Structure 1
Amino acid sequence: MDRKLWTRIFSKYGRTETIDFYNNFKEALDFEIISEPSEGLVMMKTREHAKNSLFYMGEVLITETKIRHGSTVGTGLVKGSDNELSEAMAFIDLSFKLDKFTAELNDILKSLKNIEANDIAEKTEKILQTKVSFEMMND
């Protein structure tokens, strides 16, 4: 599973599902917390398209948690101040790396992808309602 994809979907559309998954399965996997949820700042890199160069737009507040099972480390990094979500995302990362609970995670991801598709469709519909018809303006 593509980490960038599932991280975006879980953090944007599935906060409650992520935390519920963590609370339901954390007892089934023996892990230790390497670093408790802690807040920090990360520089946000952006591409300026006119010159095709990268620059740092500013800083973003993040919450990061690291957990370990054996030699495998799971990292949870979320935007904003959200200790619960960060810890749950670290557990999900660890689960994917260990190939544990993947059926349950894929079911959750499937339902969250449907929510994302509906959200995108609604936003697209709102944008299309404001679209100007230049042919009608000439009449």
Structure 2
Amino acid sequence: MTSTAHRPSVLFVCVHNAGRSQMAQGFLASLAGDRIEVRSAGTEPAERVNPAAIEAMAEVGIDITAQSPTVLTPDAARTSDVVVTMGCGDSCPYFPGVDYRDWVLDDPAGLGVAAVRPIRDRIRTLVEDLVRELSSDPAAPNP
């Protein structure tokens, strides 16, 4: 009998989908490859990704220039295993059975790259922890 492993799906959500969620998406795609499906969206998407976020990510070798802000849809949240919110508060839809996490991070909007670096570095740490969690053997006992 052949079994197919479930590929977890993560959706990063912030208001403008131009900084925090884009950086998180970039890190998760880089760290997990195709082992984890990753998307990002915003409740009020900006017209373009924050240039300081693009520059900060380029400094660590991750190119997010091709990404663009996307509007959050109920279906995107409903079909995700994990929804990570970053400052969207009550404007994020809630669906039973979806694992919601709220990452408290400063908003990089209007900040220069020097101020975005600590936000980027915190996002990397949180994403690394998420990758470890989602990549663990589901049959392994929890400590």
Normalised to the residue count of structure 1, the TM-score between the two structures is 0.28
Larger radius of gyration: 1
Higher relative contact order (CA 8 A, sep 6+): 2
Higher strand share: 1
Higher helix share: 1
Normalised to the residue count of structure 2, the TM-score between the two structures is 0.28
